Structure 1
Amino acid sequence: MPIWADTSTVQDLLDQLAKPELPNWQMVEDAIWTEWSKSGSPSMDLLLQRGRTAMEEGDFGQALEHFSALVDHAPDFAEGYNMRATAYFNLGLYGPATHDIGTVLSLNPDHFGALTGLGAILEQSQDADRALAAYRAAAAIHPHDPDLKSAIERLEEQVEGIDL
């Protein structure tokens, strides 16, 4: 978990998110992302925002530069690594993305976004068994994400077959 996030708030939000019946799950998810995005430094927040803006504009190389500066200056800030992993993924650099996801998960084991990203990388790499395991781990934390549910269903058919 990012050292700057309010851990009790994040845990309360994760507990809410895990509830099977949660009509406002998007609001809870957004609140989690807000907490995880707190770097504790205006300078680091600026690097995070500039990187995100570059990603929104499709400039993944520029985003990578911002996120690399962020993790260099805030090596315990999980969201910096998560965003850099996303930039690496979008550049087709799965090795560095996977490495950064490992760092995210060592800092914040509940990071469902990083687990989902790992699943996507493994799926792109034709490793359906491990991709399914990553998606299931993410769904154990965030059971409401419809994209995650469909990824699990798709891979279950591929890995486990279809019942006749």
Structure 2
Amino acid sequence: MGIGHRILNLIVTAVYLVVAFSLPLAAENSDRAMEMLEELPEAEPKEARRLAREIEHEWSKTGSAAMDLLLKRGREALEAGDSRQAIEHLTALTDHAPEFAEGWHLRAIAFANVALYGPALDDLGRALTLNPHNFNAMYSLGSVLEQVGHDDLALEAFERSAAIHPQSEDVTKALDRVAREIGGADL
């Protein structure tokens, strides 16, 4: 497959991911997570950070001790900078728990860390289909799109992340950076 086809595939996948964001919320989000998501946009910065951590905690519940172990090992490998090992653990997780969105999100990060952007975008598509309110996965989508030079699509992903979690400092910085890059107004 030539470079032109790969770029086209990345663009098509990116567009799909942005559209997937508007799909109905998956069952993975508990009632408590949904309540916190509703509070998040209006929360003061300190409260927003607390809510975001609690939401992330809810999204990290696999419901299985074995899957929890795979998630833990995948996260530890990512934190240690061993993305290849993380991919192995997180692949096992996504194979055995395909409806667990956070597994797909974390594996996407690992893929992006080793410049496997196509698989990263595919996994982000799956994560956002399962949990379209995952502001971290939407931020990750923007980051990958920015890395592959699609700043316009990255800006849209960052804007969608900011709509859910407007207090995120990472998203705010990304919005400013990408808007300047594409010649947009300061946000």
Shorter-chain TM-score range: over 0.9
Give TM-score scaled by structure 1 length. 0.92
CA contact (8 A) 1:16 1:22 kept: no
Q: In structure 1, how many angstroms separate the alpha carbons of the residues matched to 2:83 and 2:26?
A: 24
* 1:110 to 1:22, Cα distance in 2 relative to 1, 3 A: same
Work out the CA distance in 2 between the residues paired with 1:142 and 1:158: 22
Deviation at 1:20, TM superposition (A): 5.1
Which residue of structure 2 aligns with residue 109 of structure 1? 132
Q: 1:162 & 1:38 partners in 2: Cα distance?
A: 39
Give the match for residue 74 of structure 1. 97
Quick one: which amino acid aligns to residue 149 of structure 1? T
* Higher RCO (C-alpha under 8 Å, 6+ residues apart): 2
How far residue 147 of structure 1 moved from its aligned partner, in angstroms, is 1.5
Equivalent in the alignment of 1:144: 167
Partner of 1:89: 112
From 151, 155, 158, the counterpart of 2:178: 155
Deviation at 1:118, TM superposition (A): 0.8
What CA distance in whole angstroms lies between the structure 2 residues aligned with 1:49 and 1:4? 18
Q: Are residues 1:43 and 2:72 paired?
A: no
The percentage of aligned residue pairs carrying the same residue is: 44
Question: What is the CA-CA distance between 1:57 and the residue it aligns to?
Answer: 1.1
CA spacing shift, 1:45–1:160, aligned 2, 3 Å: same
Opposite residue 130 of structure 1, the aligned amino acid is L
Moved more, 15-24 or 38-47: 15-24
Please name the residue that 2:141 is paired with.
Answer: 118
Query: 1:60, 1:122 → 2: CA distance?
Result: 19
Aligned equivalents of 1:100 and 1:81: distance in 2?
5
The 8 Å contact of residues 20 and 143 in structure 1, kept in 2 or not, is answered as no
The residue number in structure 2 matching 1:8 is: 31
Map Cα deviations across residues 97-134 of structure 1 (whole Å, 9 max, x no partner). 00000001110000111111110111111111111000
2: distance between equivalents of 1:53 and 1:160? 38
Q: Distance in 2 between matches of 1:69 and 1:2?
A: 21
- Is residue 112–residue 142 contact of structure 1 (8 Å, CA) maintained in 2? yes
8 A Cα contact 2:90 2:104, kept in partner: yes
3-state DSSP of counterpart to 2:42: coil
- What are the ranges of 5 or more consecutive residues in structure 2 without an aligned counterpart? 1-24
1:79/1:69 Cα in 2 relative to 1: closer, same or farther (>3 Å)? same
- Aligned-residue offset at 1:159: 2.2
State whether residues 110 and 141 of structure 1, in contact with CA within 8 Å, keep that contact through their aligned partners in structure 2. Answer: yes
